[in-house]
Structure formats: C-alpha cells, structure tokens
Structure 1
C-alpha cells in the first residue's frame, strides 16, 4: 500500500508541475514562423499593439495573426489600430518576407509607419491580399509587385506614395481590385492597363496628380468600378462607356476632360453612379440617360453642356438643380425653362 501511495503522489506532483509550467507542450505554431514574428515585433520597436506576442505562448493565438488550421503556418498578418497615437513606428518590417505561407498582409491606420514598401515583400509568392492604407509609407509603387501573381486585391490608398504608376501591374493575372487613391502619384495612367485579364480589376486612382489622356486601351476591359476623379486628366473619357458594359460606378469628376457627351452610350442596367462634374464636357445630355434603370447618383455640373435636359424620364424625379447647374447653355427642369 505504501508503494502504491508513493507512486500516486509522484504522479500527482508531476501533473501539477505540468499544469503550472509556462511551457506549452501542445503549441501549434511553426517554430520558424514564431522566430520571424518576434523579429517583426522587434523591428517595429515592440509596440503595444503586439503586446500579446509573448514568446512563452502559442503564436497562433497572438493578436494580428492567423494560422492555417491544418498546417498551422502563418497565413495572415493584419496590423491595424483604431488608436491614432499608437506607438507602432518605423518602416514596414523587412522580415515580413520570411513568412512564406502568408496570403494576407495588412497595415491599416498606422500613421507612424513610414519608409518604402519593402522589397522583401516580393518573396511572398502566396500573397493574395496586400493592404497598406492610412499610413505614412512613402516612395514609389515598386514594380516588383507584379511578381506577386496570386494577388487579388492590391490596396495602397491614403499614403504618401509618389512617382508614376508601374505599367507592370497589368501583368497581375488574378487582380480583382486596384486601389491607389489618395496619394501623390504623377504621370499618366499606363496604356498597359488595357491588357489586364478581362473583365479587369476595379480601378481606383482618385485624389492624385495624374495627368495626360485616359488611355484608349481602357475601353478593352470592363471593370465594375472606375474612379479617376480629382486628378489632372485631359481629353476624351468616352472610351470608358458602352451600352453593353457592366459598369456600376464611374467617376471622372474634377479633371480637365473634354468630349461630346451626346455621342456616349451608357450601360442601361448596371450603372448606378455617374459623376462627371467639374470638367469641360460639352454637347447635349443624351435621351438614353433617362432609360438607365438604377441610377442613384448623377452629377454633370460645372461643364459646358447645352440644350434641354431630356424630359419624361427619371432625371428630373431623382436629381435636383445641383446635379446640372453651372452649365450656361443647359436648360429645362429642374433648371429654368429653355428660352423660346
């Protein structure tokens, strides 16, 4: 009996030590991935956002991290903060390129994140989603991003990026959404964007300093959303339209565009948002616009349109004077009547 008692006591003591031990024997996180994450934390000056990144715990349970449920490799690194004064500072960590299974990389609302887009990101061949938004990341948009052939979403909005848009981005065969808005980009829209794999990604380039004509090649693709507003684009934008296109949102407002609106065909079923305000667009408003079924936002103000606004459709019912005003030769409800 004494021997049995001593054996049971030893077993209970061992079990107690096991439960109290800081070492987690069932840790799932890949050891190499864990080393990389701890290096990333150090490269970002050990911010509070990553306080849960404790070497003594399983990194699959850490904040900002997601693991694959089978392989337990790191597949997502999502760093975002709702606190403007976060102490996360420095450059994008070069070590992010050492997470080979990463599919989603996000840096969002981190105002003290600076420096360029790191070249090591080019190593992430499995990357599908790259979001760098609302930061102070600067420098040019690197052409090496075209090597990430699995990319589906490339969102680089609201940063301090400068220079021209790399034409090589059109080589991304799986891209569904391209957001480069609210930066300081200059130069033309690349002609190569017309060679995106059809139907082409949503293209959001607004709030930059882009110049030159809209490439005629853009007429070869058919994205659901195009926003080129608040740039310095010139010439003809009619290539973006077409009665058979699936365009839902088209915004080219606040540019220097000049073309005859009366010769434009509009998507009748898909179009819900059309904003052309503050350009040099001329001609008459086509009667076909009254037949667009689901138009919810419409603005042609501050142009050089003329003639009577087409009557009997939805334009007068849905949109007030502010959608049409500051076209000196335009008349008819909701503007003043045309002179006889």
Structure 2
C-alpha cells in the first residue's frame, strides 16, 4: 500500500485486509496510538514513520513473524522497546530513531541474525549497546544516554559498514579492536568521554595489521578527551582515503534502504547529511587534547575533503604536504600552537573553500596567489601575532638588510642617478685640495693664473 491521504488515526479495519503484504503510511500527519491489528501474520513491510503516533509499540508485534522491514521513526512513541521484537527472525531493517523510548535496548535483538540496519538514535535508553548481530551493516545509536564501555563483541559484526555512537556518555579508551572490521566505512565516536592515547598498545600488536581500517572514509573522534600525539599510523595508511573515484551509482551510497541524516561539522558549521556518497571523505579530531606535530604523512591522503584538527595543543609547522591533498575543501587548524610560516604550497589547493588558521603562533607574510587562497578574509588568520599582509591590516616590515628601494623620481634623465653625482663631487673636492696646496707652496704661478684670470 502506498502513502495515502489518511487524516487522523489508522482505522483498525486495515488489519483485516489479509491480502496486504506492505503498509506505507509515512508522512501522513497521522496521530493516536498504533493499532495492534496492524501487525498481522502476512505483513512483510510496515512504514508509518514521520507521523505523530504516541504510546507504546503494541505487544502484538510478535504476530508479524514474516516482517522484514519496520520503520516507526520520527514519531512520539515512548516506553520500552518490547523484547518481543527479538521474535521477528526475518527482520532486516529496524528504524526506531527520533522517538522517546527509555530503558535498556532489549538483548533479544541480538537474536536477529538477519538484521542489517538498526537505528535507535535520538531516544533515551540509559544503558546497553547491542553486542552481537552478525549480519549488521549499519548501527546508529547517536544521541542517547549510553554510558557503558563498548563491548568488544561488536567485533563479531564482520559486515558492519556504519557505526555511529556519537553524542552519548561512553567513557572508554580508543577501540583498537575495531581495526579488524574490514568493511567499516563510517566511524563516529564524537562527543563522548573517550580518553587516553591513540598509540597502539603492545597488547593489541597481535591483532593489528599494516593497513588498519582498510575501507574507512569517515573518521570522527571529535569532542572527546584523547591525548598524546596524533595517530600517525592512521594518518599514513587509510587506504580508502587515497585515490578515491567518483561513483554516483546506487551502490556508491551507504544509505540505500533508508534515509536518516548524520550530522558532521563541515566548513565550521554542523550540517546534516541524509545521503553520503563514497567520495565523502573526512577526518575530524577536533576538541581533544592532542599534542605534538602534524605528521607530513597527512599528504598521503590525497582524496581527503574535510580535515579538522582545531582546539588541540598541536605544535610545529603546518606540513607543506597538505598542498598535495588536491581534493581538500575545508581545512581547520585553528586554536592550536602551530608556528612557522604558512606553506606557500597551500595556495595550490584550488577546491579549498573554508580555511581557519586563527589562534596559533604563525609568522611571516600570508602567501598570495591568484587562486582560491586569496579569497579568504582576515577571520582565517586572526590572533597570530607574527602574521602580516593581506587580508590582515598589519603590513609586513621591510627587511633592514635589503637595499633601499629606488623610485623613478630619484633618477636623472638619460640614466643618471645619485651615484655619478656623488662621484663627481668627490673628484672635484680632491682636485681643489691639490690645487690649494700647490699655490701655497709655490705662490701664484703666472702660467696657471693667466689663462684663467688674464694675469700678465
């Protein structure tokens, strides 16, 4: 059944239509409670998302034993997620995001061996994270109130492509065990309490490999408490961030069977993205406690589009290798302790549309070019006391060791300048002194005065 113009609630009689295999009533401004009669034995797909339903999920849901697709998102549903959901053994897609569910995520969901897409973001469950589910491809638990550490049993989900557990209260170290999730493409840990160093501990050496996260293209660990040096091991070897190619086919989209936005900080602002192409490649490590230098190896990730290291304690120079990341559209290195000059090679980034180097210790003249770099205003460079030149109002001082500049007005006609004039005055002075000495010694010789003054 396609979307219809229902006004009000779903009539209970709809459950008596035994021939129905699919019910799609999304975006119909429906309200009230979900009738239990909706869940029949023959139903295979139900989509009543983006309405105004309230109350609980009916316990009769277990009667729909052939159900494969259930989309109840963007309503006002509340209470507990019923454990009977675990009896829907053929369920592949469960969308419950943007409701008011509370309590624990039922462990019975772990029994759903066919479940591929589970999205429970923007609810209020207070504990538990799904720890199994071997068929899972996408797990989104963003913006809940999860507090426990990540269970390593998630590593059993070998098909996982998208994991978003951002905006919770998870306190843990970095999950190095996720390196073996070879299909993982999106990893979002932002806005939690993850902490500690991101240097690989010796204990994980046995499971590590030379190319961790082989397909990872979105790496967001911002707004946590990570410390120590940046993880050079990752910033050197993310294979999927190198030489990515445009592909607009349906298979190039991670969100193929549903539309739920994921929020990222892009070009300095929070932007929700509903559909993400394979060429969306971003690293966000901002608002942590990282220190040390930015590795030159960052230039190896030549397909990177968005890079954010802001609000850390990074030192050293901006690596000129960033100029090799030709696809870069946004670069934010603000609020660190970076020093040295801005590499002139950055002016070669023709797609760069957002730049923030403010609040650092950079020095020297801001490099100019006729390209994209010259379009940035002073907000990209402010609070660097040693920087000068356009677009800042601070002019660069002339090098005191450089020769004085000559203007056209200081030259004489026909190429004469101050140099021959000084030379002429010097020669005349020397000749005058010699003649005075000669006259004093020998008197006034007539042979000299006669041709000048006419003396006889």
- Give the superposition deviation at 1:267: 3.2
Equivalences for residues 287-326 of structure 1 within 5 A = 287-314=344-371, 317-326=374-383
- Structure 2 distance, partners of 1:137, 1:322, is 37
- Structure 2 distance, partners of 1:271, 1:104, is 31
- Structure 2 distance, partners of 1:247, 1:72, is 40
- Structure 1 distance, partners of 2:306, 2:147, is 29
Aligned residue number for residue 57 of structure 2: 50
Change (3 A) 1:315 1:308: farther
Say which of 128, 136, 143 aligns to 1:116. 128
- Structure 2 distance, partners of 1:24, 1:199, is 44
From the CA coordinates, give the structure whose radius of gyration is larger.
Answer: 2
Say which of 170, 173, 186 aligns to 1:164. 173
- Structure 2 distance, partners of 1:106, 1:317, is 43
Q: Say yes or no: does 1:339 pair with 2:397.
A: yes
Higher-RCO chain (CA-CA 8 Å, sequence separation at least 6): 1
- Structure 1 distance, partners of 2:134, 2:289, is 35
Q: Which moved more, 1:55-64 or 1:99-108?
A: 55-64
Aligned residue number for residue 133 of structure 1: 142
Q: Which moved more, 1:212-221 or 1:284-293?
A: 212-221
Say which of 73, 87, 96 aligns to 1:79. 96
Equivalences for residues 1-340 of structure 1 within 5 A = 24=18, 48=55, 50-51=57-58, 54=61, 59=67, 62-64=70-72, 73-81=90-98, 86=100, 88-110=101-123, 112-118=124-130, 121-122=131-132, 124-191=133-200, 195-198=211-214, 200-218=216-234, 219-222=236-239, 223=241, 224-239=281-296, 241-242=298-299, 245-261=302-318, 263-314=320-371, 317-335=374-392, 336-340=394-398
Contact 2:212/2:238, CA 8 A, preserved across alignment: yes
Gaps in structure 1 of 5+ consecutive residues? 1-18, 35-46, 66-70
Change (3 A) 1:230 1:21: closer
Residue-by-residue CA offset, 1:227-258 (whole Å, 9 max, x unaligned): 00000011122245216611111100000111
Change (3 A) 1:30 1:269: farther
- Structure 1 distance, partners of 2:369, 2:322, is 19
> What is the count of residue pairs matched by the alignment?
296
- Structure 2 distance, partners of 1:147, 1:277, is 38
Contact 2:122/2:143, CA 8 A, preserved across alignment: yes
Q: Which moved more, 1:321-330 or 1:188-197?
A: 188-197
Instruction: Report SS of the residue matched to 1:77.
Output: strand
